[in-house]
């Protein structure tokens, strides 16, 4: 009998990440492990450190302490090798508005070193995958916010990365655009791409994620596969786990304080 194959390296393995901005410490020794092929929801309130973590994983910031391996590559030792294998969709998009959608994707492919014909072919495939073919010849300046978000995702995929990091991809877009992006992410997950998603829409995280990490004040409160997180916290949903670890949303507390507890009639209704 042949020996079992070794388990693949995690897509992301970060240990003891610390990041300071002057007197403010954004990350306090953060640990994060994302299994290869997983769909990882990175959850937390505003200011918890989610975007800072993504900026460190993608090399925008360097950590003040800690180690990072991306797809088995030591980011400190070989940063360009790690970056070549990831795709990034930032929360704040910065696209070249005077290019058409097709031109923009082809340009991104060329920047990743793809031959011209291959970059053009991949642009065509991604325009179809993101349902933007009908706007391929239109200037990016004419795109709606949802269309721009889909184009940014296509650009992040142009070089066929093994790991894609998406920072609030559902922020400020309509229901139809959100549906297209959700289906696209599900398809990428089925194809074995590892996905790291930050979102405030917990229902989307519940529907899509296989794994999750919940961060508060720059510290990982808990992480693991979604089923284990629910079992560990005796919670019926990922949203319930989030509320147990982070606390009841302030708006709900304010409403309860203002109106008082629900009446028996309201409960019955």
Task: Give per-residue pLDDT as tens, 23-63.
Answer: 999 999 999 999 999 999 999 998 899 999 999 999 889 99
Q: In this predicted model, which residue has the larger pLDDT, 269 or 110?
A: 110
What span, in angstroms and rounded, lies between the C-alpha atoms of 52 and 25? 11
Q: pLDDT for 78-123, tens place per residue?
A: 999 999 999 999 888 889 999 999 999 999 999 999 999 999 999 9
- Residue 164 pLDDT: 96
- Residue 123 pLDDT: 96
Mean pLDDT score across all residues of the chain:
89
The helix (run of H) or strand (run of E) holding residue 195 is strand 194-198
Provide the residue ranges of all domains of the chain, joining segments of one domain with +.
Answer: 8-85+162-173+189-248, 93-160
- Backbone torsions φ then ψ of 149, nearest 5 degrees: -65, -45
- Residue 209 pLDDT: 95
- Residue 91 pLDDT: 84
pLDDT range class, residue 71, cuts 50, 70, 90 = very high
- Residue 107 pLDDT: 95
- Residue 170 pLDDT: 87
Task: Name the 3-class secondary structure at 13.
Answer: strand
Q: In this predicted model, which residue has the larger pLDDT, 262 or 137?
A: 137
How much is the average pLDDT of 204-217?
94
Task: Provide the CATH topology of domain 8-85+162-173+189-248.
Answer: Rossmann fold (3.40.50)
- Looking up tokens 């610390």 gives 18
For residue 26, CA distances in Å to 19, 56, 107, 152 come to: 6, 11, 35, 27
Point out the least confidently predicted range of 87-96, 119-128, 160-169: 87-96
28 beta partners: 18
* Nearest one of 209, 103, 197, 198 to 158, comparing CA atoms: 103
pLDDT range class, residue 5, cuts 50, 70, 90 = low
What span, in angstroms and rounded, lies between the C-alpha atoms of 255 and 269? 19
- Residue 250 pLDDT: 47
């Amino acid at each position: 009998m042949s020996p079992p194959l070794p388990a693949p390296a995690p897509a992301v393995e970060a240990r003891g990440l610390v990041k300071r901005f002057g007197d403010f410490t954004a990350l306090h020794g953060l640990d994060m492990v994302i299994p290869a092929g997983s769909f990882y929801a990175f959850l937390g309130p505003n200011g918890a450190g989610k975007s800072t973590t993504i900026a460190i994983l993608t090399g925008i910031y360097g950590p003040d302490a800690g180690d990072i391996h991306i797809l088995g590559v030591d980011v400190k030792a070989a940063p360009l090798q790690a970056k070549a294998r990831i795709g990034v969709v930032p929360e704040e998009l910065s696209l070249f508005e005077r290019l058409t959608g097709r031109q923009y994707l082809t340009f991104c492919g060329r920047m990743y070193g793809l031959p011209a014909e291959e970059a053009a072919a991949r642009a065509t495939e991604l325009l179809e995958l993101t349902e933007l073919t009908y706007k391929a010849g239109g200037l990016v300046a004419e795109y709606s916010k949802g269309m721009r978000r889909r184009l940014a995702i296509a650009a992040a995929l142009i070089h066929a990365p093994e790991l894609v990091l998406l920072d609030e991809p559902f922020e400020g877009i309509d229901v139809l655009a959100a549906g297209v992006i959700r289906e696209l992410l599900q398809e990428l997950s089925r194809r074995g791409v590892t996905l790291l998603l930050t979102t405030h829409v917990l229902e989307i995280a519940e529907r899509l994620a296989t794994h999750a990490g919940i961060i508060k004040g720059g510290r990982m409160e808990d992480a693991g596969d979604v089923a284990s997180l629910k079992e560990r916290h005796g919670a019926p949903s990922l949203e319930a786990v989030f509320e147990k670890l982070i606390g009841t949303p302030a708006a709900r507390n304010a409403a309860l304080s203002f109106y008082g507890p629900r009446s028996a009639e309201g409960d019955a209704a």
